[in-house]
């Protein structure tokens, strides 16, 4: 499981369950090519397309372990991060996307950890800011009706490097909090099947509209 890759990394949040409570399963991933966001202000970000899964994720029973599967987990110490505002933002994203009870996990990880994932799953050297691991490989983005039918389903997992996010924010003249929110939104869209490399700008346009609604810079 993905948890095994990060279990040695210290957590900054004592109130959080360990990553063993997530449904990440490394053997279910396959490689994908690297892309960058087309937004001018984000052109320098090292953002990747979703990593395609070959199999369904290895799940756990949330009732049995006593946790929800929708979590933001802090597995790094380099950057101080307030989790509750990110959790509230994630709920807003889900509301805007009509995702209802659909579940996902966001893991905040160190540069070395995300660099290992980048090398393992994408054969790319060095850290990136966000990686998405959809639970199901989708041939096209989920539209509103299809998203509503996914209520209660597990969408997948997102890994974000706060260190990379902080560097992005410094270069782009924004705040760390806003950059982390932007990366969460970007990662969720990838979980829904959007891919800015192959969709002729559809994801970029949709993301711009959502950023405006959510109060992020466009």
Nearest to 107 by CA among 137, 80, 76, 134: 76
- Domains identified in the chain and CATH numbers: 2-213 (3.40.390.30)
Kindly tell me if the per-residue pLDDT of 25 is higher than 70: no
Which has more pLDDT, 4 or 99? 99
% of the chain beyond a pLDDT of 70: 61
- Cβ atoms of 206 and 189 closer than 8 Å: yes
How many angstroms separate the CA atoms of 39 and 41, rounded? 6
Distance CA 105, CA 19 (A): 9
Which token pair is 197?
Answer: 């490399």
- How far is Cα 107 from Cα 78, in angstroms, rounded to an integer? 14
pLDDT tens digits, one per residue of 124-166:
999 999 999 999 887 677 665 666 666 668 999 999 999 999 9
Tokens describing residue 207: 């993301």
pLDDT confidence of residue 200: 80
| pLDDT score recorded for residue 137 | 80
pTM of the complete model: 0.72
Residues 91-104 have a mean pLDDT of 90
The more confident residue out of 8 and 173 is 173
Task: Say if residues 132 and 191 touch (Cβ distance below 8 Å).
Answer: yes
Q: How confident is the model at residue 47 (pLDDT cuts 50, 70, 90)?
A: low
């Amino acid at each position: 499981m993905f948890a095994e890759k990060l279990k040695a990394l210290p957590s900054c949040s004592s109130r959080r369950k360990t990553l063993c409570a997530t449904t990440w399963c490394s053997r279910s991933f396959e490689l994908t090519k690297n892309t960058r966001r087309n937004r001018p202000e984000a052109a320098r970000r090292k953002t990747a397309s979703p990593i395609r899964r070959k199999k369904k994720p290895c799940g756990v029973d949330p009732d049995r372990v006593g946790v929800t599967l929708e979590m933001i987990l802090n597995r790094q110490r380099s950057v101080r991060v307030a989790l509750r505002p990110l959790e509230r933002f994630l709920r807003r994203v889900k509301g805007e996307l009509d995702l209802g009870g659909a579940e996902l996990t966001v893991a905040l990880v160190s540069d070395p950890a995300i660099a290992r994932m980048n090398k393992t799953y994408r054969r790319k050297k060095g850290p990136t800011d966000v990686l998405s691991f959809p639970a199901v490989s989708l041939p096209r983005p989920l539209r509103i009706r299809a998203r509503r039918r996914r209520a209660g389903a597990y969408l997948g997992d997102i890994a974000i490097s706060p260190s990379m996010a902080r560097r992005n924010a410094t270069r782009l003249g924004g705040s760390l909090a806003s950059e982390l929110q932007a990366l969460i939104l970007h990662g969720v869209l990838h979980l829904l099947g959007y891919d800015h490399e192959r969709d002729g700008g559809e994801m970029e346009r949709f993301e711009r509209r959502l950023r405006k609604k959510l109060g992020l810079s466009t």
